[in-house]
Amino acid sequence: MAIINYGIGNLPSLERSFLRAGATPVITDKPEVIAASERILLPGVGNFGACMNSFEASGLRPCVEAHIAAKKPLLGICVGMQMMFERSEEGDVAGLRWIKGRVQGFPTEYNAQRLHVPHVGMTSIKTANTILFEGMPENPRFYFTHSYRVLGTRSEDTIATCDYGGQFTAAVQYGKIYGTQFHPEKSHAGGIALLKNFAERG
């Protein structure tokens, strides 16, 4: 299990969470380690453009895309998930374009009421019957903290949705590419269960 270090993300927290899930993670910026890993994690926090720039500057994109081409599992978290899509309006920046969809900011009002942005806190989601959510209760709760969300995903790629300022994509799966807008490493037992599912069954 390789946690990609491209200068972005709370990597020690992710490492501790995977250890609690029974995995053996390694934080790395070495292409040869990523190439040898069966599963990899793409973190991301903060500004979309800064994450994309840092990832491209790291030189790791080719080995990550080779991992995907080999049909080996990858999990993107928060902005790490958003980067997988076509474009973000946060700075009008192109994404990695691995999955169809776009990233847009939350509205400041919804249903004639002011909407608090960013969306922060434990929130229920609606899930599909997929590997990531195996063994979980109906409408599990996960921790979100974000001002932008993913819209326009295909129904077959969407494995979870959340309702805040309207419905948005909370988790995706495209082949062996997985993504969560929420932070499993901050979501208590449910988050550890998700990471365990990815590490063992993804």
- Active-site positions read 78, 183, 185
Residue 63 token pair: 């080995």
- CA distance linking residue 139 with residue 116, whole number of Å: 22
Amino acid identity at 160: A
Angle at 103 between CA 101 and CA 108, to 5 degrees: 135
Query: Which residues are within 8 A (CB) of 23 and not within 5 positions of it... i.e. 6 or more apart?
Result: 1, 195, 196, 199
> At residue 184, what are phi and psi to the nearest 5 degrees?
-60, -35
Helices within 72-163 (DSSP H only): 79-82
Amino acid identity at 24: T
Helices within 118-173 (DSSP H only): none
Residues facing residue 123 across a β-bridge: 142
Other residues' Cβ atoms within 10 Å of the Cβ of residue 175: 12
